[in-house]
């Protein structure tokens, strides 16, 4: 072939190749061009039904069951010399009831009775005061008749004490031998004085020349002084009792005011956090001002209650400190009255006896008889059956369980010898700072444990105002609950589930998932309601309580019913690999594109 013919063939081949390339170029698309030219698939709506149900928000924590604060039994052993423990009738976990012996020291019992006033002295005949009444009340409960239950330790009281000791296997504290002899001597003196007065009266004795008016006047002054002494003893005892009761009432008022202040502070904290404690809505400025006023008023009540408590304590201290001094002053006045009477009678002449001496007047004999009787009463007041201070302990409530015994048989007793569990069961827990704003004293809770089969209601009795303290972490608040029903013994010291309802819808309401509620341009809440034909409509709603992923809704200007469907999201449907393959198979021009692409992916060295 000549050169001219060869050139013509080359040119023709180039033209044909270019034409083929142009045709193929018009039919082949890159993946990017195919994706850009494709239409987006229609999104699919994700809907859920509107429900009618009751919503409630709650706090769930763990709590440990245990007894309330323990009480220590302390024995005053100063008067015992060598207080050796000679008997331990009670052991750990034993129950101690009223009238039982808690411990024996130097062969003598320590008897436990119920009472709020601690033992502060020994009690014996002639003792008077609120502690005597407390003793007689306990004796009466135990079936030992103390006579009139009052503030006077009488012979009936002593007999009841003796019966209590005898029932426990001990002998009551009777007078010592020398004390009994002193009583007998005093009784003999009274008998002799009575005989002397009767003898003088029968023999025509006189009043030693003392005018009747003077004798009556002086005797009246002595009687008045004696009555004054008796009134001081009785009055001061009653004053101490009243002051003790007033202090108790002041304590209760202070505790109540403090609890009210805590509750008011909690309400304000909850409102400041964004939720009004009464309405569950965001508080208005006026509502915040009102809650702040409640806190201020509660604080004033606490201050007043604290001042009243301090005043009551001062009154009680003053009553106690003034008792001894008032009695001493009255006794001095009585002694002065008697001395004045004797001196007055001595200024008058007395008759002579047969030996020429001065014969005692009737007034002298009467005074001698009165002195003998007073001496006998004084001796009996300290020598009758008594209750030593070291043999009696008062505990506020009984029975209680012995939690610990702090001494051993043969050891020396000192201070606290035994601990008793508290009178009630409590559940201790801790809560977070966020939960602290929602929880206040007096709220109800449910305490549960599936394994133990326990489910009881409880009342929150204490919530700490500040975090930390003791074993409580620094970021947690201590909380205590009191069960309203008895818990089984196996529940003690176990960690149980505590559920505290915070708020409730009080019945069934319309609810939707939180994801169904959106905010409109003007900030209002709304839901997207789907009709039966698939179309959707935006409906404005007001929201209420939110809990467990749901929120209460109420339609505004529209209708929503139980079972209606609301949109919670949209799902974009993309073609699957099978759908892509099917599309390519239906296209007769897709083979070369598919093969070209496959070659490029399978062969790393292939040309793209």
Residue by residue, DSSP assigns 153-206 as --HHHHHHHHHHHHHTT---BPPPHHHHHHHHHHHHHHHHHHHHHHHHHHTT--
Of 26-35, 318-327, 389-398, 424-433, least confident by mean pLDDT is 26-35
Q: Are residues 456 and 379 in the same domain?
A: no
Residues paired with residue 140 on neighbouring β-strands, in sequence order = none
Q: How far is CA 523 from CA 178, 513, 526, 540, in A?
A: 98, 19, 9, 10
DSSP 151: S
pTM for this structure? 0.41
Q: Are residues 565 and 582 in the same domain?
A: no
Q: Check which CATH number belongs to the domain holding 218 and give it.
A: 1.10.287
Under the banding of pLDDT at 50, 70 and 90, the label for residue 606 is very low
Q: Are residues 286 and 360 in the same domain?
A: yes
Q: Are residues 22 and 62 in the same domain?
A: no
Q: Are residues 13 and 58 in the same domain?
A: no
Q: Work out the angle at residue 168's Cα, subtended by the Cα atoms of residues 166 and 173, and round it to the nearest 5 degrees.
A: 50
Which of 383, 398, 433 is the last residue before a domain boundary? 383
Q: Residue 487 has which token pair?
A: 């818990």
556, part of any domain: yes
Q: Check which CATH number belongs to the domain holding 491 and give it.
A: 2.40.30.170
Alpha helices in 273-390 (DSSP H): 285-346, 362-383
Q: Are residues 562 and 587 in the same domain?
A: no
Query: What gap in Å lies between CA 486 and CA 481, rounded to an integer?
Result: 13
Of 85-99, 338-352, 577-591, least confident by mean pLDDT is 577-591
Strand order in the sheet with 108-114: 85-87, 101-105, 108-114, 392-395
- DSSP string over 133-145: HHHHHHHHHTT--
376, part of any domain: yes
Of 109-118, 403-412, 481-490, 595-604, least confident by mean pLDDT is 595-604
Reply yes or no on whether the pLDDT at 425 is more than 90.
no
Query: What gap in Å lies between CA 536 and CA 558, rounded to an integer?
Result: 13
Q: Give the per-residue pLDDT at 502.
A: 86
Q: Give the per-residue pLDDT at 19.
A: 59
Average pLDDT over residues 358-379: 79
Q: How many domains does the chain have?
A: 3
Which secondary-structure segment (H or E) carries 64? strand 56-67
Query: What gap in Å lies between CA 275 and CA 303, rounded to an integer?
Result: 29
Q: Are residues 221 and 272 in the same domain?
A: yes
Average pLDDT over residues 84-106: 93
**Percentage of the chain lying above the pLDDT 70 cut:** 79
SS (H, E, C) 106-130: CCEEEEEEECCCCCCCCECCCCECH
Q: Are residues 311 and 447 in the same domain?
A: no
Q: Are residues 535 and 586 in the same domain?
A: no
Q: Residue 89 has which token pair?
A: 């009738």
Q: How many residues does the chain have?
A: 608
Q: Are residues 462 and 511 in the same domain?
A: yes
89, part of any domain: no
Average pLDDT over residues 113-122: 90
Is the pLDDT higher at 448 or at 584?
A: 448
161, part of any domain: no
Q: Give the per-residue pLDDT at 440.
A: 92
Contact indicator for 109, 410 with CB cutoff of 8 Å: no
Taken in order 570, 575, 578, 579, the sign of the CA dihedral is positive
Average pLDDT over residues 116-139: 91
pLDDT digits (tens, 9 = 90+) for 156-192: 999 999 999 999 999 998 766 666 777 788 888 888 8
Q: Are residues 375 and 436 in the same domain?
A: no
Reply yes or no on whether the pLDDT at 578 is more than 70.
no
Q: Residue 568 has which token pair?
A: 């919670």
Query: What gap in Å lies between CA 38 and CA 30, rounded to an integer?
Result: 12
392, part of any domain: no
Environment class of 353 (CB within 10 Å of its CB; exposed 0-12, middle 13-18, buried 19+):
exposed
139, part of any domain: no
**Domain span holding position 432:** 46-68+424-573
In 337-485, beta strands by DSSP E: 392-395, 400-405, 415-420, 425-432, 444-449, 454-463, 476-483
Which of 383, 406, 435 is the last residue before a domain boundary? 383
pLDDT digits (tens, 9 = 90+) for 490-522: 898 899 999 999 888 888 999 999 999 999 888
Q: How far is CA 432 from CA 429, 456, 482, 498, in A?
A: 11, 23, 20, 14
* Average pLDDT taken over every residue of the chain: 81
Reply yes or no on whether the pLDDT at 483 is more than 90.
yes
Q: Work out the angle at residue 538's Cα, subtended by the Cα atoms of residues 537 and 544, and round it to the nearest 5 degrees.
A: 135
293, part of any domain: yes
DSSP 387: B
Which of 383, 415, 449 is the last residue before a domain boundary? 383
Environment class of 522 (CB within 10 Å of its CB; exposed 0-12, middle 13-18, buried 19+):
exposed
95, part of any domain: no
Query: What gap in Å lies between CA 408 and CA 516, rounded to an integer?
Result: 71
Reply yes or no on whether the pLDDT at 582 is more than 50.
no
Is the pLDDT higher at 284 or at 319?
A: 284
Reply yes or no on whether the pLDDT at 75 is more than 50.
yes
Q: Give the per-residue pLDDT at 523.
A: 86
Is the pLDDT higher at 378 or at 479?
A: 479
Query: What gap in Å lies between CA 288 and CA 474, rounded to an integer?
Result: 29
Q: Give the per-residue pLDDT at 583.
A: 44
Peptide bond into 399 cis (omega under 30): yes
Query: What gap in Å lies between CA 555 and CA 249, rounded to an integer?
Result: 53
Backbone angles phi, psi at 590, to 5 degrees: -90, -10
Of 42-46, 268-272, 399-403, least confident by mean pLDDT is 42-46
Q: Give the per-residue pLDDT at 51.
A: 95
The structure tokens 């083929």 sit at 20
Dihedral through CA 221, CA 227, CA 229, CA 235, nearest 10? Answer: -140
Is the pLDDT higher at 26 or at 463?
A: 463
Average pLDDT over residues 180-206: 75
Q: Are residues 264 and 303 in the same domain?
A: yes
Contact indicator for 541, 527 with CB cutoff of 8 Å: yes
Is the pLDDT higher at 510 or at 352?
A: 510
């Amino acid at each position: 072939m000549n050169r001219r013919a060869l050139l013509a063939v080359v040119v023709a081949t180039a033209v044909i190749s270019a034409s083929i390339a142009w045709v193929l170029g018009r039919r082949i698309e890159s993946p990017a061009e195919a994706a850009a030219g494709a239409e987006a698939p229609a999104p699919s709506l994700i809907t859920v039904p509107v429900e009618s149900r009751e919503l409630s928000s709650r706090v769930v924590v763990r709590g440990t069951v245990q007894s309330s604060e323990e009480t220590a039994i302390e024995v005053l052993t100063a008067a015992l010399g060598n207080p050796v423990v000679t008997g331990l009738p009670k052991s750990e976990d034993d129950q101690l009831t009223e009238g039982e012996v808690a411990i024996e020291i130097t062969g003598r019992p320590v008897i436990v009775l119920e009472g709020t006033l601690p033992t502060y002295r020994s009690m014996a005949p002639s003792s008077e005061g609120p502690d005597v009444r407390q003793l007689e009340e306990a004796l009466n409960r135990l079936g030992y008749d103390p006579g009139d239950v009052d503030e006077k330790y009488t012979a009936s009281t002593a007999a009841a004490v003796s019966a209590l000791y005898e029932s426990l296997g001990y002998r009551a504290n009777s007078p010592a031998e020398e004390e009994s002899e002193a009583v007998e001597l005093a009784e003999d003196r009274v008998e002799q004085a009575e005989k002397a007065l009767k003898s003088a009266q029968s023999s025509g004795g006189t009043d030693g020349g003392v005018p009747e008016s003077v004798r009556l006047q002086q005797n009246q002054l002595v009687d008045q002084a004696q009555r004054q002494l008796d009134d001081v003893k009785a009055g001061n005892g009653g004053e101490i009792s009243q002051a003790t009761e007033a202090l108790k009432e002041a304590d209760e008022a202070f505790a109540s005011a403090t609890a009210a202040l805590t509750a008011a502070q909690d309400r304000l904290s909850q409102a400041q956090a964004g939720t009004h404690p009464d309405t569950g809505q965001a508080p208005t400025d006026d509502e915040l001002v009102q809650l702040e006023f409640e806190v201020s008023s509660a604080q004033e009540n606490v201050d007043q209650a604290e001042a009243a408590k301090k005043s009551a304590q001062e009154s009680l201290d003053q009553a106690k400190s003034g008792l001894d001094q008032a009695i001493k002053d009255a006794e001095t006045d009585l002694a002065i009255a008697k001395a004045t009477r004797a001196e007055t009678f001595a200024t008058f002449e007395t008759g002579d006896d047969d030996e020429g001496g001065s014969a005692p007047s009737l007034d002298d004999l009467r005074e001698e008889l009165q002195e003998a009787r007073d001496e006998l009463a004084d001796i009996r007041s300290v020598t009758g059956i008594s209750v030593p201070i070291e043999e009696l302990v008062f505990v506020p409530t009984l029975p209680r369980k012995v939690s610990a015994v702090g001494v051993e048989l043969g050891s020396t007793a000192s201070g606290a010898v035994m601990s008793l569990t508290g009178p009630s069961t409590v559940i201790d827990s801790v809560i977070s700072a966020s939960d602290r704003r929602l929880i206040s004293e007096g709220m109800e809770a449910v305490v549960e444990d599936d394994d133990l089969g326990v489910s009881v209601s409880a009342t929150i009795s204490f919530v700490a105002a500040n975090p930390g303290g003791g074993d409580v972490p620094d970021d947690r608040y201590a909380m205590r609950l009191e069960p309203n029903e008895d818990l089984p013994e196996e529940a003690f010291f176990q960690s149980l589930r505590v559920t505290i309802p915070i708020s409730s819808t009080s019945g069934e309401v319309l609810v939707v998932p939180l994801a169904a509620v959106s905010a409109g341009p003007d900030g209002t809440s709304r839901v997207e309601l789907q009709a039966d034909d698939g179309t959707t409509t935006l409906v404005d709603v007001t929201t209420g309580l939110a809990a467990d992923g749901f929120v209460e809704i109420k339609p505004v200007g529209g209708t929503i019913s139980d079972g209606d469907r609301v949109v919670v999201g949209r799902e974009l449907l993309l073609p699957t690999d099978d759908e892509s393959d099917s599309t390519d198979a239906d296209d007769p021009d897709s083979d070369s594109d598919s093969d070209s692409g496959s070659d490029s992916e399978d062969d790393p060295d292939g040309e793209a």
